[in-house]
Amino acid sequence: MSEPLKIAYSPCPNDTFVFDAWAHGRVPGAPALDVTFADIDITNGMAERGEFDVLKVSYAVLPWVLEEYALLPCGGALGRGCGPLVLTRDGGSAADLAGKTVAVPSERSTAYLLFRLWAATEVPGGVGEVVVLPFHEIMPAVRDGKVDAGLVIHEARFTYQDYGLACLADMGEHWESTTGLPIPLGAIIAKRSLGAARLRELAEAARTSVRMAWDDPLVSRPYVLEHAQEMDPAVADQHIGLYVNEFTAGLGEAGYAAVRGLLTRAAAEGLVPPLGRDALAFP
């Protein structure tokens, strides 16, 4: 029997929902998984160091890792109305961020890339210092005045008002209004050295795992809530509803266009290395 595949993804509800069936051996014929949980900033670094067979990473990190890893056409997070938010204690306008300190979840995150594209046109003179914090520490830091603003992702969309915070801008709204494309957030990648046949097998396993979760959502619930950091079950359900959608089952034409659009635009601004012509192609 072959060794389990080493995989790392976040403890967030969308990832545990997607991978529940596969991680627990319920996907027929799928390879066994050795799961490590890690925040997206950590998995991005793991990918750059080539440490795992399969990883959930930010789409923004792809230009640095696609030589060693292939993008799987399913299992990730794209969507509409689900983009990162810029939060402050008292709202305000984009111009108010000029020279201010902003906390972000990762310098290689898609959220930060969307933020940089937005700030380039909306914040005259640019922001001041950027501080990287684990995403669950960002809202308390804004609330407590440790930073002027925070760029938040995931379930923070549903909970920021509990911290007395206000939304200054929605990065996803800006992206969708300027491109018409869905928002590319998190990708599933796997080592090219596994070979084309194995990569196709992994993609099918991920696709089957998410479909099994949709068919009977209650089965994944214990796994989701066990890792959801004391999250309210209703918030976990909202999180899954927003980030697990048709693009999770298959990127499709619109999904690939969104990924290409983001990375091409970012490369044109000098924010990421340019993609090779076939970098996103799946075997």
- Each of the 283 residues of the chain gets a pLDDT tens digit; together they read 578 999 999 999 999 999 999 999 999 999 999 999 998 889 999 999 999 999 999 999 999 999 999 999 999 999 998 889 999 999 899 999 999 999 998 888 899 999 999 999 999 999 999 999 988 899 999 999 999 999 998 778 888 999 999 999 999 999 999 999 999 999 999 999 999 999 999 999 999 999 999 999 999 999 999 998 767 888 889 889 989 999 999 999 999 999 999 999 999 989 999 998 899 999 8
Task: Give the tokens for residue 71.
Answer: 């993008």
Instruction: Tell me the binding residues for substrate.
Output: 56-58, 110-111
Which of the residues are catalytic?
154
Residue keyed to tokens 């929902």 = 17
| Residues tagged in the binding site annotation | 56-58, 110-111
In 3-state terms the chain splits into helix, strand, coil percentages (rounded to 5) of: 50, 20, 35
Cite the beta strand spans of the chain per DSSP E. Answer: 5-9, 33-37, 54-58, 69-71, 77-79, 85-88, 102-104, 130-132, 149-152, 166-170, 183-191
- Cα separation, 28 vs 181, whole angstroms: 34
